């Protein structure tokens, strides 16, 4: 190859590399503050406050897992689990049932709900998110989300 062809090929390779790597990546996702811990989660088995959005960020709830079990009884248990904000907005509500077995003396695992919210459930700045439960099941939960910049 002549030196002109080598230089032309090198210029072409450099041009393609610049085009591929020269433009910043675009994203349709919201901007996430990558502070010390951009994720938030809570787990438990009783009603109460899950988390509070800080004054400079939103929280987007992305996932929830709920399990229920009943006790020794002839009837299945039924419970309702609700997530609400401190302003009274209901973010989500689920009804869960669990079967029980009267022939044994121990509790029996029952219903499971595992849900990912595609768009997420927004929690505005300074709002608390609480979980409430009613019914006759033993309920456990995990709620996860992420902090998002305003």
Q: Which domain holds residue 37?
A: 29-149
- Would 55 be classed as within a structural domain? yes
Output 8 or 71, whichever has higher pLDDT: 71
Residue 102: is its pLDDT beyond 80?
A: no
| Separation CA 130–CA 67 (nearest Å) | 17
pLDDT of 20: 47
Position 138 in a domain: yes
What's the pLDDT at 69?
84
Q: Find, among 74, 143, 81, the residue nearest to 111 by Cα.
A: 81
User: Distance between CA atoms of 98 and 75, rounded to whole angstroms?
Assistant: 9
Percent residues over pLDDT 90 in the chain: 51
10-65 pLDDT, tens digit each? 545 445 444 545 545 544 455 554 555 589 999 999 999 999 999 999 999 999 99
**Mean pLDDT of the chain, nearest integer:** 79
Per the structure, the count of domains in the chain is 1
In a domain, 13, yes or no: no
Q: pLDDT tens digit string along 62-79?
A: 999 999 887 756 678 889
Q: Does residue 43 sit within a domain?
A: yes
Q: The CATH number of the domain where 62 resides is what? A: 2.60.120
């Amino acid at each position: 190859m002549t030196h002109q062809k080598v230089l032309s090929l090198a210029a072409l390779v450099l041009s393609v590399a610049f085009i591929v790597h020269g433009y910043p990546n675009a994203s349709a996702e919201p901007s996430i503050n990558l502070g010390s811990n951009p994720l938030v989660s809570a787990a438990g088995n009783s009603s109460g406050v899950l988390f509070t959005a800080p004054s400079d960020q939103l929280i987007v709830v992305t996932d929830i897992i709920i399990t229920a079990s009943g006790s020794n009884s002839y009837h299945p248990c039924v419970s309702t689990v609700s997530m609400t904000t401190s302003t009274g907005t209901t973010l989500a509500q689920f009804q869960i049932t669990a079967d029980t077995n009267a022939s044994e003396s121990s509790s029996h695992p029952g219903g499971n709900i595992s849900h990912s919210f595609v768009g997420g459930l927004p929690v505005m700045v300074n709002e608390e998110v609480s979980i409430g439960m009613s019914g006759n099941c033993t309920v456990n939960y995990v709620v996860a989300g992420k902090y998002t910049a305003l």
